Structure 1
C-alpha cells in the first residue's frame, strides 16, 4: 500500500487549524480505542470534517494515526538544552518511559504490529518519526562522547540501541514493566558501564 506524503499538496491550501483538529480528534478516539477499532469515518465525525478533507492530506487511517502520535509525543519527550549530555539523555529516557507506559506506548505497539502485515506503515513510521528521533539522540550522544565524560571510542550507533532497545522490548513483549524504577535503574546502569561520572 502506498502512503501519501502528508505535506500540503499543490492547489487548495492546507488549513493548519483543520489539520490540528483532525489530529486531536484521532488522539481523542485513541485514548480508549485501538487503531483497529476506529475508522476514517469516526475521525471525520469527531473532527467535524468530511472524509474527503482527511483523504486530501492523508492516504490512510494509519498515516493519520502516526502523525497524531508524533504531534503529541515530541513535545513531551524533549532533550533539554543547557544540561550535561548525560543529564539530558537521562531526562529524555525518563520522559520516554513515562509516555510509553501509558496509551502512547500502546499506540506505538499497535503501529509496529500493523506494520508487520503492511510494511508501508513501518516505512512511514520510520521516515516520519524514528529517523528524526534517532538523529537527535545521535547528536546528544556525540556531545556526550566529545565532552570526555565517556570514552571517545564509544560506538554511538550501538549505544543508541543499548539505551533504547530495552524500552521497545518491554513495550512489545510485556515481560517487565515500563516504570520509573526501570527508567532510573537502566539509565544508571548504562552510565556505570560507560564510566560516566555522577
Structure 2
C-alpha cells in the first residue's frame, strides 16, 4: 500500500470581498497550489506564473518569497508530506524508527516517488535548489532523527558508543539508495529488515 499526501489546492484561492488576504493565508494558498501542480504534472509544471494563477496571488509575491521555482517546489513538497514524515516518540525507539521508516518508504514509493527523485536530480545542477534542499529538507529531517535517537541513547535504549549520524545514514541512506538505483525492491519488508538487522548492534 502506498501513501499519497493530500495536495489538493483550494478551489478559488482568492478570498471573496474586499481587502488583502493575510500573508500567512496567501502563503498557504501558494504552497497548496504548487503542491497540486507538482504532484499532478511534475517539477517542470511548477512555474511562478502557473502557481500564481492557481493560488490567486501575484507573481511578485512569489518572487519575494522564493528565489526560483525549484525552491518553491521543494517547499511545496515538504508542505504536502510533513505530516506523513512526522517522527513519533512513544518511548519505544525501535518501534518509532520502524513506524517512521515504513511511512517514508510508503511515501517515496507512491505518488511522491517521481517528485522526490525529480527534486534530487534537479538539485545536482541547480545550486539554489541544492542549498534549499540541504537547509530546508535534508538537514532538518536528519536533525529530527538524530534528536529522537539521542533521547533513546540517553535513556539507555541505544549503546552509548553508537554514532547516531551513521545510524541515520544506514537506515534512510539505504532507502534513498534503492530509490535512486532501483535494482532491488524498496518496500515495507526492506524497511523492517533494516531495523531488525541494525538494532541487533544498537541494543546495550
Query: With structure 2 as the length reference, what TM-score do the two structures score?
Result: 0.82
Q: Does 1:105 align with 2:107?
A: no
CA RMSD of aligned residues (A): 2.0
**1:119 counterpart = 2:127:** yes
Is it true that 1:147 corresponds to 2:155 in the alignment? yes
* Alignment check: 8 A CA contact 2:34 2:51 kept: yes
Match of 1:178 in 2: 186
Alignment of 1:34 with 2:42, yes or no, is: yes
Q: Residues of 1 paired with 2:198 and 2:95: CA distance? A: 12
Q: Distance in 2 between matches of 1:38 and 1:61?
A: 6
- For these two proteins, the number of residue pairs brought into alignment is 185
Deviation at residue 145 of structure 1 after TM alignment: 2.2
Q: CA deviation at 1:114?
A: 0.8
Extract unaligned runs of 5+ from structure 2.
1-19
Q: Distance in 1 between matches of 2:128 and 2:64?
A: 19
3-state SS in 2 of match to 1:32: helix
Contact 2:49 2:59 in 1 (8 A): yes
**Structure 2 CA distance for aligned equivalents of residues 83 and 92 of structure 1:** 14
**38-47 vs 151-160, which moves further:** 38-47
